[in-house]
Structure 1
């Protein structure tokens, strides 16, 4: 009986451990509010660049792998015509450059590092993208028209210089479905020299 009890206890313990592990790995869904999607940081003790997600409303920083961005129907915008490498004609799902109640206000930030230590600039690259059939994602500055990132190689916007301490461009997704966008950032530190982050993948559920 004792042996059976020990075995039963071990089984129950393992089941509970798996349950808690599943809870710990559950994704945080963000569908509205001020969020620095690309929050760049630097650990000078490890000489390591990184990219995380900073939810301003919750004052919480997440690993990108632990977040799903819910680009819900509130973001849907219908265009009468296309804007090359920005928006398609017809339906687009748009994260606007200005804060709007109920929508994701998506930006990036270098506030967790000293940009001057990198000569005032980092280089962020969109190194990979998995998109729904026919879908593209673009990130552009509405005031200047400059496309900062685009999943279509023909748009020649796979990367951009990050010179801002805090910036909110316009993000566009042209088809419903799941987008997995992988970013990497590089820079030259005044003391530590050339540094590169890991490749970090972000998930956007659109529709």
Structure 2
């Protein structure tokens, strides 16, 4: 497939690399509050802290001054300029699409006419606080077709599949700290796609953090961005995670979970039962001692 080549190596924020992968993210880059549709240019998803909460945002580098954006207020438009025919090559059988069928591809190597989507772990506070890296999970995809995300090197190596929405299990993969990478995102049908992603990490403090957000894609020129903004994610996630789109941090403290509350209640009931048993046994022993004393004090056969 055209432009599906060259796996990008992790890029240093201080060492610019060819192809736009070298970037430095300033700590004070603002969080935009307006609604935006991103059609072309450089875009990453990545973890960041907002009001001291760990979350997953969109880093918008399509303008001269980069900003961070909420996935709830951003649509990634994949225009018909991204349309490609699936090659007659068994190496691409994992796409689950017949050779020659046209699909929409956000390419790993930048196409100036198509939005260029990757991920980074380069926010300064994230780099200071995470322990080695983060884990990205695909929790689910809602859309008219399937989504496949994969990497492919330029030395004839086979494709490296990262996510396939056709598979039911969540797909985790590891991303080192200070990494900036792009991949191929293949959509088999035009329409609105909601892609729910979780980012989690161990912090150097020993705390665990996690956040789940939903990316909005409008695939194909005929697809309405208004529909993409209005769509509601109903992708189920793990029971211990916040709902899609929630920015709450996972602090690693389970004190508020339902299972822990139930266990605490059971322990309390057991403690009360134990106290009651001790009281009953103590009273019984005292009554027995009184009875023994009364028998000893009373003369046998009623004699005085």
TM-score, with structure 1 as normaliser? 0.76
Matches within 5 A, 1:77-116: 77-81=84-88, 83-86=92-95, 88-89=97-98, 90-112=101-123, 113-115=125-127
Deviations 1:71-123 (A, max 9, x none): 11000001243613346231110011112211111110111144474332211
Q: Which residue of 2 aligns with 1:32?
A: 40
Q: Is the 8 A contact 1:126 1:182 kept in 2?
A: yes
Aligned partners of 2:117 and 2:151: how far apart in 1? Answer: 12
Aligned partners of 1:41 and 1:27: how far apart in 2? Answer: 19
Q: Which residue of 1 aligns with 2:173?
A: 160
> How much does 1:40 deviate?
1.6
Q: RMSD of the alignment, in Å? A: 2.4
Q: Is the 8 A contact 2:140 2:170 kept in 1?
A: no
Q: Which residue of 2 aligns with 1:140?
A: 150
Higher relative contact order (CA 8 A, sep 6+): 1
Query: Tell me, which stretches of 5 or more residues in structure 1 are unaligned?
Result: 1-23
Aligned partners of 1:97 and 1:87: how far apart in 2? Answer: 19
Aligned partners of 1:119 and 1:100: how far apart in 2? Answer: 34
> How much does 1:129 deviate?
1.4
Q: Which residue of 1 aligns with 2:239?
A: none
Question: Aligned to 2:72, what secondary structure does the other structure show?
Answer: helix
Aligned partners of 1:167 and 1:96: how far apart in 2? Answer: 12
Q: Is the 8 A contact 1:87 1:172 kept in 2?
A: no
Larger Rg: 2
Question: Aligned to 2:93, what secondary structure does the other structure show?
Answer: coil
Deviations 1:119-169 (A, max 9, x none): 32211111121111xx11111111262212221116x66221112611011
Equivalent position to 1:183, from 197, 222, 228: 197
TM-score, with structure 2 as normaliser? 0.53
Question: Aligned to 2:94, what secondary structure does the other structure show?
Answer: coil
Structure whose residues are more often helix by fraction: 2
Q: Which residue of 2 aligns with 1:6?
A: none
Aligned residues: 177
Aligned partners of 1:50 and 1:87: how far apart in 2? Answer: 33
Structure whose residues are more often strand by fraction: 1
The reply on whether 1:57 has 2:71 as its aligned counterpart is: no
